[in-house]
A and B are shown apart, each in its own frame.
Chain A
Amino acid sequence: MAENGAKATVTLTIDGVEVTVPSGTRVIEAAEHVGVVVPRYCYHPGIPSRPAQCRMCLVEVEGRPKLEPSCTLQAADDMVVNTASDTARTARQSVIEFLLVNHPLDCPICDAAGQCMLQDYAYVTNQLESRVDEPKRIMGRDRISDDILYFADRCVICTRCVRFMRDVAEDDSLIVAQRGDKAYIDTFPGRELDNPFQGNIVDVCPVGALVHEDFVFKARSWDMDATASVCPGCPTGCNVTIDTKENQIVRVKPRHNAAVNSWWMCDYGRNHLVMTNRGVRAEVPLIRDGGGDGDRGDLRPVDWATALDWVAEKIAALGSPGGSAVVSPDASNENLFYVRRLLDRLAVADATFQVEQGETAELPTVPTLKLRADRAANVAGAGIFGGRRVDALRNGAAADGSAGGGSAGRALVVLDDLLEGAPDDFGASAGFFLYVGTRLPGAARNADAVLPIATFAEMDGTFTNFEGRVQRFHQALRPPGLARPGWMVLSRVLARLGDGEAVNDVRTAFERMAAEAPPFAGLTWDGIGLKGAPAAEANR
């Protein structure tokens, strides 16, 4: 509390607890410092405008005649705030009672039930009976965009969605139409929202008024498991929460990280992630150990021990043949690290990767959040571990030329690339063709061994984002069949070759990587935490 010009901090009392906060802090935020969450609808920390219109966050300030909205009230020295005094509670109860006058109370079929701020606050008021005799006004349902539905009767007109679009996305196409009890959220008649970040309006909705159509009626909030993860859609690496039910991803929501995505994420990432785990997967290890001289035999399914023993044996027999590799910018740092170890063992210097390209999109007011043209999470990581980026999407020549399918006796390793456009004989003449992947594309037909691995959603790991920030993601799903995390599989191959231990947990895998790969020096699994940390020199 230095008195040099403008004071840097103020000290006030909230619910009997003294707290010192930077001056300019609003009371609603200061209250969070002492663990008091003042009920709110229109206030959202990520939306700059504060209309103070919902009247839920009214608090009593000693010495002031009227209740004040804590979302706009600046904390001041010696202020004594009561968030739960009788007056404040009564005012809040009245607001809830008004909101419930026309609310349909359709919680049993509402997607927000269990995660609804109206439900929560109404429950707290403990007013179980309505005093209203009149019929409720009924407004029905509308479509706000091709995948967002609006249930007007559930709406509390907090205008968070309108203000997200206007103030954060700077797209003034979502509005409040009409007024009073007839007010509803609308676009211009005959038009729909068309903004690459519009999905966030569903996340900011405090009730069940705005719902993603692909989530509607799909899961109750208490049936879902939430897992902290990172969006794999582009190198930005937005922090997300993956909601799963019965081993299916049913919903993805952004997770706050001030250094990366603030409170938001783009629609591409959201939809892409929900679809991540669809498609036919590689579920069982395959090896080609049949036939004798000349006849290569067929790929046949085997258990892990057999597959790993066989692969290690083959690699040991090969020695250091050189060759080539194709890696994936979707793979985790740990997977890429272990593949790099394997490639070093085989004396394969050249590893290429390709990155799918797409349209970009920016959120005007959040410069760190941008949908980037690269459609892969770990382009930086693929580069760190010696990958050479090839621009041309795989035509036969690039694949075959760089992959060395023609070099008899040499090794060919592919990590989770679908090898689109590869010729029929891709890798046919390689001395040893190892395919490690989540899926089993046709171009893997000539592989000598196929090791099925988990997708990022099925394991723990890290990605390095575009600015070298290393971010953790966690296992949200069980992998199908015998698929296992890539680092778990590859560490076992290497252990059989006398290189390190078989690793069962990601922490060990990460720590070995941090010890051996300079860009990750000094990082620890715990140190990264759920918000990520910058890699030492990963900037590219």
Chain B
Amino acid sequence: MSRRIHPAVVGAQPFQLTARETFDGPIFETAEGKHRLEAALSRYPTKQAALLPMLGFVQSVKGWIEPADMVEVAEALDLTPAYVHSIATFYTMYSKHPVGRHFVQVCTNISCHLNRAEEVLRGFLAETGTREGEISEDGEFTVIEAECLGACGFATVVQVNDRYLEDVTPERVPEIVAGLRGSRDGGSEAGDGA
């Protein structure tokens, strides 16, 4: 099974290089993997300190982190798999389960809640035909409820992969979902002004 760059993170955070390689076999034996590992190790005094960036890298390649990946990271950083497991489960933004190509997070905290976030969430679930956290049958969508995304001035905020959609109303949801469905490369092309 080949590991393609997961669309969830194409064009991800600007400080990250975008993985452009196909990943077969052990991640840290690929050129990209080696490069990322060396870059991270050069930045910190201990190998352990590179754990979070490396978990982030794995997620950027696969979209989620499974136990086998934790073993690989552990071996690369001279840690025990158990320790990596502990860290990966502590941080909720590392996905420990597979997600769809478009990972939709709907904020339901106070500002968004006042701006009909619950309706937006229900709208996304209905449009994609999933229950919360599920992958839709076509593999395109996973919708979850998120805690504050830090854009309260633009409620309701929806995060699709790494892009923010602002001022989302329930009425706009079908259009957004249709747009995402048509897009080839994840959230970067979806919505407006994002």
Partner-B contacts on A (CB < 8 A): 172-179, 186-191
Contact = CB atoms under 8 A, between A and B. Distances in A.
Nearest to A175: B86
B79 to A, nearest CB: 7
A188 B90 contact: no
Contacts of A173: 80, 82
Contact of A190 (B67, B80, B83): B67
Nearest to B79: A172
B90 A187 contact: no
B56 interface: no
Nearest to B88: A177
B67 A188 contact: yes
Given A178-B90, A179-B90, A186 B85 contact: yes
Contacts, number: 37
23 contacts: A172-B79, A172-B80, A172-B83, A173-B80, A174-B82, A175-B82, A175-B85, A175-B86, A176-B86, A177-B85, A177-B86, A177-B90, A178-B89, A179-B90, A186-B82, A186-B85, A188-B71, A188-B80, A188-B82, A188-B85, A189-B67, A189-B85, A190-B67
A357 B83 CA distance: 35
Question: Taking chain B's interface residues, is the majority helix, strand, or loop, or is none over half, making it mixed?
Answer: helix
Contacts of B82: 172-175, 186-188, 191
B121 interface: no
A143 to B, nearest CB: 15
- What are the nearest 7 A-B pairs in CB distance? A175-B86, A188-B81, A188-B82, A172-B80, A177-B89, A173-B82, A175-B82
Interface string B81-97: 11101100110000000
A177 B70 CA distance: 13
Interface size class of B (residues with CB under 8 A): 10 to 19
Contacts of A187: 82
Interface of B: 67, 70-71, 79-83, 85-86, 89-90
B41 to A, nearest CB: 20
B89 A188 contact: no
A219 B71 CA distance: 40
Nearest to A193: B82
Contacts of B70: 188
A187 B86 CA distance: 9
A174 to B, nearest CB: 7
Contacts of B71: 188
A188 B84 CA distance: 9
